[in-house]
Structure 1
Amino acid sequence: MSLERAVAPDPYDLLPPVPSFAVASADVADGRPLDELFAHPGVGGKNLSPQLSWSDFPAETRSFVVTCFDPDAPTGSGFWHWIVVNLPSSVTELPRGADPLPEGAYCVRNDYGERTYGGAAPPPGDRAHRYVFAVHALDVDRIDVGSDAPPAYVGFNLTFHTLARAVIRPTFQS
């Protein structure tokens, strides 16, 4: 069964524009399919977060937040797969399967209800989904959100503290 829907906009196209900086990965590439390593076990994956590294962010950056969002999920509101908050500005890379996280950083509950990375798992037969991995460079040392904060609340706080954003958008199809 194919779920025919219009392509959802990129979530960051709807927010105030900010400068970009460089993000790279040994594991994922813009517009390329994710390996099953990074998919949810429900679709045969290993549920590992991909390696990400970033550079050329603003000098005044005081911390980072890393997120992964599927705007193509058939929910009307997308699906949050990963929200890592309060990464110190000295951290410029997360390894594959980032666990443990650097001191002071933690995951906010994703839309699976877990405080960790949750891999790609589009409905079987649906078109390829985009997975928007974003690194947000912030003007504060930390955002004041608890680990039970909804991802939308984290996003609301990011809107007011993001100096720049780096994005990579792989895809996945079940």
Structure 2
Amino acid sequence: MRTIVILFTIIAGTLSLFAQDFTVTSNDISGQLSKNQEFSGFGCSGKNMSPALEWKDPPKGTKSFALTLYDPDAPTGSGWWHWLVFNIPNNVTHLAENASAQKTLPKGAVESVNDYGQTQFGGACPPAGDKAHRYVLTVYALDVEKLDLDADARPALVGYMLNAHAIAKSSTIGYYDQ
């Protein structure tokens, strides 16, 4: 009997993983990034525009969203955080291109400091001559309406809190080189 209960629990858990198709999409991030998403500074001359993105089918119980843009290939030993936004209301399912610079993020959303030391989107800027870097855009469905953090929160702390409260997450990857 105990074996049947364990087997049923495993099957039910596995099926619930496939019941939700929480996805994020961005024509600006998927594939090759453009000059619009390149940083302006650090030897780069892009437009530094945050990407347009949308997400759908968040899991039940989602109380807010957060997003990050991360370059795991940056030659720092710990990657590079380009954008961190949290406390996005649960009724929001998209952001327009350049929402960061135009200050059109949803009411209550917080942009925290990135690895450029700025509280806004910081575009791609891999070192000249490096292979194409991966830029991982992740949207998190969270079990809290608000993270008790402010714009000064560093990426490691934000990441810790996101992972502590994530119900689900979805990522898409773009590439960029100079």
- Counterpart code for 1:136: Y
Structure 2 counterparts to residues 84-163 of structure 1, below 5 A: 84-98=85-99, 99-163=103-167
Does 2:60 align with 1:56? Answer: no
- Counterpart secondary structure, 1:153: helix
- Counterpart code for 1:71: P
Alpha-carbon distance between aligned partners in 2 of 1:34 and 1:44, rounded to the nearest angstrom:
14
Alpha-carbon distance between aligned partners in 2 of 1:148 and 1:102, rounded to the nearest angstrom:
19
Structure 1 residue 37, shift from structure 2 partner: 0.4
Q: What runs of 5+ residues in structure 1 fail to find an aligned partner?
A: 1-16
The 8 Å contact of residues 20 and 166 in structure 1, kept in 2 or not, is answered as no
Alpha-carbon distance between aligned partners in 2 of 1:164 and 1:112, rounded to the nearest angstrom:
27
TM-score scaled to structure 1, two decimals?
0.86
Structure 2 counterparts to residues 63-78 of structure 1, below 5 A: 63-78=64-79
Q: How many residues align?
A: 155
Structure 1 residue 20, shift from structure 2 partner: 5.9
Alpha-carbon distance between aligned partners in 2 of 1:27 and 1:80, rounded to the nearest angstrom:
18
Q: What runs of 5+ residues in structure 2 fail to find an aligned partner?
A: 1-16
For residues 34-62 of structure 1, what are the alpha-carbon distances to aligned partners after superposition, in whole Å with 9 as ceiling and x for unaligned?
01100101322100011000001102100
Structure 1 residue 77, shift from structure 2 partner: 0.7
Alpha-carbon distance between aligned partners in 2 of 1:63 and 1:20, rounded to the nearest angstrom:
17
- Counterpart secondary structure, 1:116: coil
- Counterpart code for 1:39: E
By relative contact order (CA 8 Å, sep 6+), the higher-ranking structure is 1
Alpha-carbon distance between aligned partners in 1 of 2:53 and 2:28, rounded to the nearest angstrom:
8
Does 2:172 align with 1:171? Answer: no
The 8 Å contact of residues 20 and 165 in structure 1, kept in 2 or not, is answered as no
- Counterpart secondary structure, 1:160: helix
Question: Are the structure 2 counterparts of residues 147 and 78 from structure 1 closer, same or farther at C-alpha, using a change threshold of 3 Å?
Answer: same
State the superposition RMSD in angstroms: 1.4
- Counterpart code for 2:71: D
Does 2:24 align with 1:23? Answer: yes
Alpha-carbon distance between aligned partners in 2 of 1:87 and 1:139, rounded to the nearest angstrom:
12
- Counterpart code for 2:135: Y
Structure 1 residue 28, shift from structure 2 partner: 2.5
Larger Rg: 1 or 2? 2
Structure 1 residue 100, shift from structure 2 partner: 2.2
- Counterpart secondary structure, 2:131: coil
Structure 2 counterparts to residues 27-38 of structure 1, below 5 A: 27-29=28-30, 32-38=31-37
